A and B are shown apart, each in its own frame.
Chain A
């Protein structure tokens, strides 16, 4: 479970100015800010090697030269200001047609103005502008460098049975933005979210807890905008937050928050955050209000007696595995929902989910998914109130993989498509 999602947890992005007067002053290099002169065209932010290294508490923190890992829409700009050691960019925009010169000129003009608009949390949609800046939707740093933003268009195969994006799709998008945030900020040590210092010490990020609240599910053809940022969680943990909006209307669709801890990948023991790593990541921590109200209720462990529904024989397929041959985090959610009773799935939609990750599993694992309906009564599944369920995903020998709690709200007017979804009743 560790895998890609785990290590992609964080990614601070330094900013030239403090986001608000109350936050501690940090003298940071402008890793993420707008620097029109260092970008020839179309490229936004993240020219890490173009800046002085940030200074934390007077000591300078070296940044890796992330040129080879910086793949963004301004690839043409990287060729102008990149260091000599970068391998040829693998992706697009290496060989643009001639119109790119015109595009470059136009974009440069807009970039200066764009800088002002970046400060706002939300601004009127100008999709054509975004297409100039971020034509492939790779994402970019916004908001003084603390937030990474990426757009996703919902693809047809990401739609679930009720014609809206599945919860797995939403979680996949969160994972993708987290990893791209790491990469764009230049802190991708090994491709899985470990920073260079972490790689040296064989440390990886492991997700401990995840909370997601979905206000409305997007549907095929919708475009969502995902904003993500990181902050501290206690002394040795990190929190990553996401906010997903409808690109067109700005309406908040999903809010999520996750807590990560550091683990030694060889010993599999939890580790404190070493000073060198702290120096790499702390510049990126954003002190912000929690996006999701913390659900700190203890998650219960289910067993065969307390579970109402059990689904056994769940086995990972090849496509469930990441490069370490561990099961991708997001797949657990699908398995958890395998034992959710069909009447609930048909009449309700998943409104909120809290997950505690306990153990990872690999290709040869065989899992069992247990569900207990913990409120609203078992016999009353089709009622018009919210339903809460407890979940457990475990191996056949009983070893726990994930504990979870889900809250379901009734679907309204689902035959008319998602635009007629009424907001969930507030409790």
Chain B
């Protein structure tokens, strides 16, 4: 299971914002965390309740003035939404984030999801040294780690497109929390992707999982929607499907993958997003050339260190007819396809440690045929 690697806030800002979100008064945050995005977002309506008052003060901001607030806060293109329960940010796709399809790579998308998650956490005052650890968690040396990540992309953005990502988190049963994202093309407002992720709590020192206690839950639930809000509400969504372990021998493989220095976060663990790249490595070239990734689901099982060597295995997963009918939309109704359907391909994946075969990740990917842009 992996941590998202984010940077810590400075100690000072942490102290201030911690007081802030415990509801001790907006004055501590005034002049410290301002958000000039108010110029564009138009948010800044009034709030109710002490804790939300802190949020409002941050969002309203105060135009020009001395630069005691973080400059990036003021220039940041993201902000909490009016009700303070989710966070929206805009990103431009940069040229080096674009891949062989002239569109943003799935790793770029995953990086942006991570970035907006970190920014959300920071904007509500959580530390972002692991992932949004609350003060209680920090005291108990608890961190969030990713258990499952599911990303669906309907339309990949191209260079210099602006995408708007909205994210929010909520509790998930007793053991975890989930974070959801919706991605939109800022120009058209069209939804171009959705994602959801599940996180569990782990003790940083013992590396053992732990149940979410009520104090921790209360600390962050304030910032979560009251009613369950799912980015992917469909009940038959593949984000909920179990991922079986693929059988030996795999159809395709790429062995001997090694973490690069750039893949490591500050704690020398391999960054979440690197796994996505590794999963894709064992796909045959003809799939990469003819199809584009529509959905990827990853179950994180074990963390990977900088000196591990990783094998990536891929096998075709037959698409059942029932699923196929629901997936193929807008076709001329040819639903008699089985695993030979060329428009939609599905694969199971496994990442394991090269020597002892210990499982690192399992995954499933769905691919749709590329169309000329």
Query: Which chain B residues have a beta carbon within 8 Å of chain A's beta carbons?
Result: 5-8, 10, 36, 39-40, 42, 63-64, 67, 70-77, 90, 92, 94-96, 98-102, 105, 107-108, 111, 114-115, 118-119, 128, 158-162, 186-189, 256, 258, 260-262, 264-266, 268, 271, 273, 277-278, 280-281, 288
In the complex, are the beta carbons of A313 and B256 less than 8 A apart? yes
| Complex contacts, B264 vs chain A, CB 8 Å | 161
The CA of A253 and the CA of B289, in the complex, are separated in Å by 40
Query: Closest residue to A326 on the B side, CB-wise?
Result: B100
| Complex contacts, B67 vs chain A, CB 8 Å | 125, 127, 248
| Complex contacts, A223 vs chain B, CB 8 Å | 71-72, 75
Cβ contacts A to B, 25 pairs, < 8 Å:
A94-B187, A95-B187, A99-B42, A103-B39, A127-B36, A128-B64, A131-B40, A136-B77, A153-B76, A156-B5, A160-B262, A162-B266, A172-B96, A183-B160, A191-B159, A220-B6, A221-B72, A221-B73, A223-B75, A247-B71, A318-B100, A319-B105, A322-B99, A334-B260, A417-B10
The CA of A94 and the CA of B76, in the complex, are separated in Å by 21
* A135 and B99 contact, Cβ closer than 8 Å, known pairs A91-B186, A337-B261: no
| Complex contacts, A131 vs chain B, CB 8 Å | 36, 39-40, 75
In the complex, are the beta carbons of B261 and A156 less than 8 A apart? no
Contact of B39 among A91, A132, A162 (CB under 8 A): A132
- How far in angstroms is the closest Cβ of chain B from A130? 8
Query: Closest residue to B40 on the A side, CB-wise?
Result: A135
Query: Closest residue to B92 on the A side, CB-wise?
Result: A136
A129-154: CB near B (< 8 Å → 1, else 0) gives 01110011110000000000001011
In the complex, are the beta carbons of A168 and B262 less than 8 A apart? yes
The CA of A321 and the CA of B98, in the complex, are separated in Å by 9
Contact of B95 among A92, A128, A179 (CB under 8 A): A179
- How far in angstroms is the closest Cβ of chain A from B188? 7
Query: Closest residue to A155 on the B side, CB-wise?
Result: B115
A-B contact sample (10 more), CB < 8 A, given A157-B115, A221-B70, A223-B71 = A97-B42, A128-B64, A132-B39, A135-B77, A136-B77, A136-B90, A157-B111, A163-B7, A175-B95, A180-B160
| Complex contacts, B118 vs chain A, CB 8 Å | 156
Pairs A-B, 7 closest by C-beta atoms:
A221-B72, A220-B7, A92-B162, A157-B111, A172-B96, A156-B118, A92-B186
| Complex contacts, A337 vs chain B, CB 8 Å | 261
| Complex contacts, B94 vs chain A, CB 8 Å | 172, 176
In the complex, are the beta carbons of B160 and A219 less than 8 A apart? no
- How far in angstroms is the closest Cβ of chain B from A317? 5
Query: Closest residue to A328 on the B side, CB-wise?
Result: B96
In the complex, are the beta carbons of B114 and A156 less than 8 A apart? yes
Interface size of A by Cβ–Cβ distance < 8 Å? 67
| Complex contacts, A125 vs chain B, CB 8 Å | 67
The CA of A168 and the CA of B187, in the complex, are separated in Å by 30
Query: Which chain A residues have a beta carbon within 8 Å of chain B's beta carbons?
Result: 4, 8, 71, 89-95, 97, 99, 103, 125-128, 130-132, 135-138, 151, 153-157, 159-163, 166, 168, 172, 175-176, 179-180, 183, 191, 219-223, 247-248, 313, 317-319, 321-323, 325, 328, 330, 334-335, 337-338, 345, 417
| Complex contacts, A159 vs chain B, CB 8 Å | 5, 7, 266
In the complex, are the beta carbons of B187 and A90 less than 8 A apart? yes
The CA of A91 and the CA of B190, in the complex, are separated in Å by 12
* A92 and B7 contact, Cβ closer than 8 Å, known pairs A138-B92, A319-B107: no
Query: Closest residue to B76 on the A side, CB-wise?
Result: A153
In the complex, are the beta carbons of A175 and B96 less than 8 A apart? yes
The CA of A333 and the CA of B96, in the complex, are separated in Å by 14
- How far in angstroms is the closest Cβ of chain A from B117? 9
In the complex, are the beta carbons of B102 and A323 less than 8 A apart? yes
| Complex contacts, A162 vs chain B, CB 8 Å | 266
Query: Closest residue to A91 on the B side, CB-wise?
Result: B187
In the complex, are the beta carbons of B75 and A127 less than 8 A apart? yes
| Complex contacts, B262 vs chain A, CB 8 Å | 160, 166, 168, 334
